[in-house]
Amino acid sequence: MATQTTQQVEEIEPFEAAQEIEGGDVVLVDTREPHEYQEAHLENGKLVPPGLLGDEIAAAAPDKSARTILYCRSGNRSYKAAEQLQALGYEDVASMAGGILAWQEQGLPVVAASGMTAEQRDRYSRHTLLPEVGVDGQLKMLNAKVLLVGAGGLGAPTALYLAAAGIGTLGLVDDDVVDASNLQRQVIHNTERIGVPKTESARLTIEALNPDVNVVEHRLRLDSSNILEILGEYDVIVDGADNFPTRYLLNDASVRLRKPVVSASILSFDGQISTFVPFEGPCYRCLYPTPPPAELAPSCSANGVLGVMAGTMGLLQANEVLKLVLGIGEPLIGRLLLFEALSTRFTELKVRRDPDCPICGENAPEIADEDLGKFPDYELFCAG
Amino acid sequence: MATIRIPPVLRPQTGGQPEVEASGSSVGEVLRALTGAHPDTESQLFGPDGDLNRYVNVYLNDEDVRVLDGLDTPVGDADTVIIMPAMAGG
């Protein structure tokens, strides 16, 4: 009969663990509960709660021969977990004596929710539970500055969800006032706000939704005299403009300032979206070298637009923004995604950098500030 | 027959159809079959020189024909040609 001898678990002091972690090639496992992990944990510590050890350890620590250091709050749970791992065949396991309490007493660093209040930890708990977001990611969002160009069909849903997500600073560019005909899709406004400037209406809704968000109202139209200064204040730009001159101006200025732009447009039942990261992928002019003539560029006010489709595209924009802020996933760089609401069909097209692009190409000429957004070789282009 | 996907702005010129079947062995032939069947699309797709207008993007399946062989790009029966103009609605 085979007998299993309980092997003594190696215990190491926090400073020893710190040295090993710094040396690399260590799998670090946090054997506490999710709420404790959220509060504070060691950098790169992988959460495997005691009750889920059997199910989750293989994913957290796939190599049984790798050096594996376990820790918990004070060293008891990690010791027991280490015994279990040894029984599962892990060959090189250690438990950190005294746990994260001893670690912190020795002044060693943790990833703490310290940047967040108790109310914020509660509010964003469904984000911080996601390993790809975590407390670090939520803090990135709270520190992020995102500019929304247009607080209309696209900007309204985008702003609402970015505010809920806890984007710390939301700039809103729009010089229009709320009209009754907006309310079928611009869900950030409401009936009582008809006649109120859109930036103000959006700010009131956002402040009621999430007091963490600082809303900056830019009640104006972007032009070559103000765009560089305004874009300069932000990390990510969202293009939900309703006209071509603003879209080309925004492109040219964002390439100049190397700011990423999440760009969507909508008409009738159809929408399209791409993410332009200057010099990493194509820019808007690589995709659309020139704007179409007026008869091929109707507006939503002339042709109509399905509100739900606008909302869908706005949320796809918000999704792109969060990925850029968090540095996770695969943004729509070099890809144009089409959405057709009537057939519920998504189509992805490739977009390539144009080596001859007048804005981001290798031989792109210097452009004076006042010429941003212009078409020097395109006389038919009408700004208006 | 290849399939051509018609953008919303061109649908008034195709009787409202979002997709049109067209025969031809190249992108140019397929688009000419479209303009033959729906003459009002002609001036919106092609300039006086017979080239595609610069503001019209045409894709063969998921690739821009500008990085393929343009209007000479070969087309098979199972292929989809997508006409995609820029839109500015927000």
The CATH number given to whatever domain includes residue A28 is 3.40.250.10
Number of H helices, E strands in chain A: 15, 15
Give me the pLDDT at residue B8, please: 86
Q: Which of A83, A115, A147 is the last residue of a domain?
A: A115
Candidate from A289, A305, A351 with C-beta closest to B89: A305
Distance in angstroms (rounded) separating the CA atoms of residues A314 and A158 = 5
Domain limits at A264? 134-371
Confirm whether A296 is domain-assigned: yes
Give me the pLDDT at residue A113, please: 67
* Each residue's pLDDT expressed in tens, for chain A with a length of 384 residues: 444 556 799 999 999 999 999 998 899 999 999 889 878 899 889 999 999 999 999 999 999 999 999 999 999 999 999 999 999 999 999 999 999 999 999 989 887 766 788 889 899 999 999 999 998 899 999 999 999 999 999 999 999 999 999 999 999 999 999 999 999 999 999 999 999 999 999 999 999 999 999 999 999 999 999 999 999 999 999 999 999 999 999 999 999 999 999 999 999 999 999 999 999 999 999 999 998 888 777 777 778 999 999 999 999 999 999 999 999 999 999 999 999 999 999 999 999 999 999 999 998 888 888 888 887 544 444 333
My answer on whether A83 and A226 are in the same domain is no
**A316 touches B at CB < 8 Å:** no
| CA distance to partner chain B, nearest, from residue A155 (Å) | 8
My answer on whether A77 and A143 are in the same domain is no
Q: Using the structure block, give the residue that is written with the tokens 């090993």.
A: A20
My answer on whether A316 and A288 are in the same domain is yes
Confirm whether A129 is domain-assigned: no
C-alpha dist (Å) from residue A50 to A224, A295, B79: 59, 65, 54
Domain limits at B68? 2-85
My answer on whether A43 and A146 are in the same domain is no
Confirm whether B22 is domain-assigned: yes
Q: Domain holding A293: CATH number?
A: 3.40.50.720
Alpha carbon A270 to its chain centroid, in Å, reads 24
Using H for helix, E for strand and C for coil, what is the string for A96-110? ECCHHHHHHHCCCCC
Q: Which of A115, A142, A176 is the last residue of a domain?
A: A115
My answer on whether A247 and A347 are in the same domain is yes
Q: How many domains does chain B have?
A: 1
Q: Which of A115, A147, A180 is the last residue of a domain?
A: A115
ipTM > 0.90, yes or no: yes
Q: How many domains does chain A have?
A: 2
Number of H helices, E strands in chain B: 2, 5
Confirm whether B12 is domain-assigned: yes
Candidate from A154, A269, A296 with C-beta closest to B9: A296
Q: Domain holding B63: CATH number?
A: 3.10.20.30
My answer on whether A141 and A84 are in the same domain is no
Give the residue on B whose Cα is nearest the Cα of A309.
B90
Confirm whether B40 is domain-assigned: yes
Total beta-carbon pairs less than 8 A apart between chain A and chain B: 95
My answer on whether A30 and A170 are in the same domain is no
Which of A196, A178, A195 has the alpha carbon at shortest distance from A187? A178
Candidate from B56, B82, B90 with C-beta closest to A152: B90
CB contact under 8 A, B90 and A349: no
My answer on whether A104 and A142 are in the same domain is no
Confirm whether A125 is domain-assigned: no
Neighboring chain A residues of B62 at a CB cutoff of 8 Å: 347-350
| CA distance to partner chain B, nearest, from residue A255 (Å) | 19
Confirm whether B90 is domain-assigned: no
Distance in angstroms (rounded) separating the CA atoms of residues A231 and A239 = 12
Neighboring chain A residues of B79 at a CB cutoff of 8 Å: none
